[in-house]
Amino acid sequence: MEPIIRVLMVEDNAFDVELIKREIKKNNISFVHHLVETKEDFIEGLNTFHPDIILSDYTLPAFNGMEALAIRQTMCPDIPFVLCTGSINEETAVNVMKAGADDYILKGHITRIGSAMLTALQNKANLRLKKQTDEQLRIFSRAVEQNPASIIITNIQGEIEYVNQKFTKITGYSFQEVLGKNPRILKSGFMPPNLYKDLWQTITKGKEWHGELQNRKKNGQLYDESVLIAPIANDKGEVAHFLAVKEDITEKRKAQVTLEKNQILLKKALFESSQLIDVTTGEVNYQTMADIIRDLSEAQFVVFNLFNENSLDFKTVAIAGIKEDITKAMSILGFEVLNKTWTRDSILEERIKGAVITRFDSVIDMAQHVISRTACRLIDTVFKINELHVVNIRKNNKGLGAFYLIYTQDNLLKNNEIVSIFANQIGLYVDRKRAEDALIKKMNELERFHRLTVDRELAMIELKKEVNSLLKESGQDPKYHIVQ
């Protein structure tokens, strides 16, 4: 079924209206029309009738075709506009077309109205299609240019014809620097030659190739990519270009390596946890704890402090990473560390409260309120301290102690999660050991009390025996009944 064309007519002559309608019907055009004569009715017709085409007389008593054309240009420039007039000179015709009309018809040649309408409608349809196509191309272009993946397009010789912004950002090469070059300029030299041979054979056969490459940026830095290369065919079905879509997976690989490393470290920590209690003495091996957490955290030095339960002080129970000669030198200078008892630092405890791990830039940052700035600066300088981390050891939100992780030069804490897990494990061991020690202490006290009670009972029995014996010698009956 033919679509019904909605025609908005701007005309004041009823005879001309009927003439135009008759000519339209002669062209087998299905249509409905809406007739207006004034500016107000014309605007209303545009808003309510929603025409597919406008047919307008050039001159009306209170309105004219040029005004109608100007309104059309403002309100709905995509609707075709055909001017119908009794007579028009060449200059006016040029002005009408320049103003945006799609065609003009002399009423003396009104037989052209049907073909003019169809041509105008087709031209507008083509224009709308072109606009849609252009917009789609713009969207596609922006999608490619702003794509988070790196994109390269080459000709069939492998010469670069296009790269997007992500490519230039990742590699450091500008478009001008790589235009006409082969992507081999990115080769790192570490990939096997057979890989590139397989790649080229695959895509030249019209197939897709997918794999991972290690490439080199303009500044020489290596990076890893996940790459998909696909052939692009022309209208004849022949391969005309190659499209490479590449994702930088350098950080993803680093994260995977870190994850695998952390898994190994965690398994090692859990395995070595069996060594935290000395099987011969039952004592907690604090030095092993310090050594393990130094291994997990990759800290240069570790100091392990435990809070005393019934006093406002703490004790350094283990150190790791500090060489014995340095420890002796510090001892000679009066800086005794191992087994030293310290007064608890309420300011520091407030700063680290609520966090498992707290970072400090330097000893000055952490301890200047308890140690002179000169001494803090001396320690920072001598040990080239880069950062410190205080790792809280807790059980049920109760502070039991802390590890002090010290990093020198450019070293940093990398395994936060593993260190946190191990610190929680240490909290369990320390709390369990303290609970066991408290239980043993109470049991020993009970045993002492029991022994005192038993000894007193035995003494009473002996005393009662002596009294009964004396009573018997004096001829009296025994006073106490003694159960043996």
pLDDT at site 333: 44
7 near 55, Cβ under 8 Å? yes
Name the pTM for this structure. Answer: 0.50
pLDDT at site 39: 93
400 near 427, Cβ under 8 Å? yes
Token pair for residue 341? 């008892």
Token pair for residue 236? 């004849």
Domain ranges of the chain: 5-142, 147-248, 259-429
Please state the CATH superfamily assignment of the domain spanning residues 5-142 in this structure.
Response regulator (3.40.50.2300)
pLDDT band of 334, cuts 50, 70, 90? very low
pLDDT exceeds 80 at position 429: no
pLDDT in tens, 57-107: 988 888 988 999 999 999 999 999 998 887 777 777 788 888 889 888 887
pLDDT in tens, 414-423: 778 778 888 8
pLDDT at site 332: 45
pLDDT exceeds 60 at position 470: yes
Query: What is the pLDDT averaged over residues 458-463?
Result: 78
Highest mean pLDDT among 136-150, 254-268, 388-402: 388-402
pLDDT exceeds 60 at position 360: yes
- Mean of the per-residue pLDDT values of the chain: 84
Q: For the chain, state the CA radius of gyration.
A: 47
pLDDT at site 273: 61
Helices 286-297, 250-272: inter-axial angle, 10-degree rounding:
170
pLDDT at site 221: 94
pLDDT in tens, 132-158: 888 887 877 777 777 788 999 999 999
Rounded CA separation 418/265 (Å): 8
CATH topology of domain 147-248: Beta-Lactamase (3.30.450)
Rounded CA separation 245/236 (Å): 24
Q: Do domains 147-248 and 259-429 have the same CATH topology?
A: yes
pLDDT exceeds 80 at position 446: no
301 near 323, Cβ under 8 Å? no
pLDDT at site 216: 95
pLDDT exceeds 90 at position 44: yes
pLDDT at site 408: 87
pLDDT exceeds 60 at position 330: no
pLDDT exceeds 80 at position 50: yes
pLDDT exceeds 80 at position 442: no
113 near 5, Cβ under 8 Å? no
Share of the chain above pLDDT 90, in %: 32
pLDDT band of 430, cuts 50, 70, 90? confident
Please tell me the CATH code under which domain 259-429 is placed.
Answer: 3.30.450.40
The stretches of 105-188 forming alpha helices (DSSP H) are 113-145, 165-171, 175-178
Residue 294 identity (one-letter amino acid): R
Rounded CA separation 314/246 (Å): 56
